[in-house]
Chains A and B, each alone.
Chain A
Amino acid sequence: MLSIHLIYPEYISDYVEMGVDLFLVPGELSAYTTRHLDVNEISSLKKAYPDKQFFVLVNGLYEQHELKQLQDYLKTLTTTGIDGLVFQDFGVLYEVKKNHYPFKLLYESMTLNTNHETLNALHHYGIDMAMVSREIPLTEQLSINDNAQLPLMIQVHGVSYMGSSKRHLLKHYGEALKKTMADEVYEIIANGSDYPCYIFEDERGTTIYSKKKIYMLDLLSHLKDFDYLYIETLFMDAHETLEVISMYADCLQALKNGRYAQYVKDYLPMLKKVSQPLERGFIEDKTIYHLEDVKRRDAGEQV
């Protein structure tokens, strides 16, 4: 099934027509997103498309003083008819189970879903689905999917989350620089690096995403056993979003009718034009962490 981050709800009829089945919907308590829909908007979407799945992003890490607001919000969401929640704070899981709310729970910890045993353990505690980490090789993503006992989602296209802080890092920097940092989004590039990132701030703090978008259009045949393929539409304009979804939807259809190879050949050059800059992320790249491996790699040796 194809799923997307619903940044442009005004285009939902197009997305549905292209075959998107599940929408991750940014709500009032969502984190790491640039759009926030209110409860009425969410409710209307579900009413208009009752056969589609809507999962609201309740994906922040919530502080104690926000707990009441979170509890009230979850209760309100029960009136919208939505299908589920995307979460990472186990306080959300606890509240949903305690109150027997009818939401499916998609565990998206942004970075932590890197083995199947953890997901199976959490399945026992009440999660229904999970997003596999982006920061591991494809072979590991596939291994997790083979061994996990719950439906999994994998990001196939779009920018990657890199970090989030409670601090207002742009505001603080502006104060230090004695400049107003008024833009919605900035770009940063680390000195000595050629890897650009988006950075933006909201009331929850600061969030950093890669500017480069991972793409897996030509790898969909490997991913056919995943239950959900996800397109991150953040930092795409409406046109790019439509084009990208359309290409993935067509290629998925082509997989079924045996014409996938031809579609990839035709679409991949188009994708590279429409959705820039692209990268493979960690698909073929393993991270290291032992000090000895770091030293060996820095010395130019094979790790």
Chain B
Amino acid sequence: MVDNKQQWKAWLYLAPAIVLLLLFTVWPIINTVRMAFLEGYGNLSSLNADKTFEFGIENFEKVVKYKKFTTCLKNTCLLCVLTVPISTLLALVIAVCLNSIKPFSRLLQTIYFLPYVTNSIAIGMVFASMFNIIGGADISKAVSIGIVNNVIEFFGGERIAWISTGSSYSANIAVMVIYIVWNALPFKILILLGGLQSVNKQYYDAAKIDGTSKWRVFWRITVPLLSPMIAYVLITGFIGGFKEYTATVGVFGEKMGPADDPGRLNTMVGFIYKQLEGDHQGLASAASLILFGIILVITLINLKISSKKVQY
């Protein structure tokens, strides 16, 4: 142990980090909890010295009853449930394929990693332009129908309003899922590929001598040996998924939905931002705590399951 004379030195060295953490992490957390339980709290209105806020759970009640909030919750959960498994499975398949390709493996790895270092709003705008229909509400007379519809029509299909006025909710979600999966792939591929490359090649030699089929090698050897990485990717995927926000902004812009139904694709974090804009810090804090609770529960469940499935 550090003796007493030395202790103040230790604290001194730690001080910058501690001060910053207290100021920008610990205090905001405490303050969030405080604001969440002050009824109708708002930063602007709190400047008024005469105004007092009563302690209570009214913020939570309000948030839960808010129709916009339930929409956001539904969107977030739906996107999470759809994108996390799809992107993880796809990343696993791509990582295994990348790992088995010898020529150009470095180049391919770089290409697959590029989306990770690209601004997600920029990517969202590209996606939006690929799916967007420009030129009038009547879809049949549109000037530009986007590259995806071009492809669909080329193969004899009918153009679909993906994200523009008159688009359906399922079409919106489809675009969101494609965008989020595409955006989430690089990081997952990177992690899984790293895991694959650290797997001892002799396991595969042993399997080869025993005449193991490729399918069995994948499910009985590769996946179990990768299970720690898969669990990591799943858990961080769910956490990130519940905090999804930029995807909606990227594809739909600030309206968070098609022009005729703004807010339709809003997410939990989007809801919190909206409340902050409207000086409803109390509601925003309450929503944050609910989101925190959901992520906590999901993560605990994930850990519980993975401690059984992650085999070594």
Are A and B co-members of a single complex? no
Q: Which A residues fall within an 8 A CB radius of B?
A: none
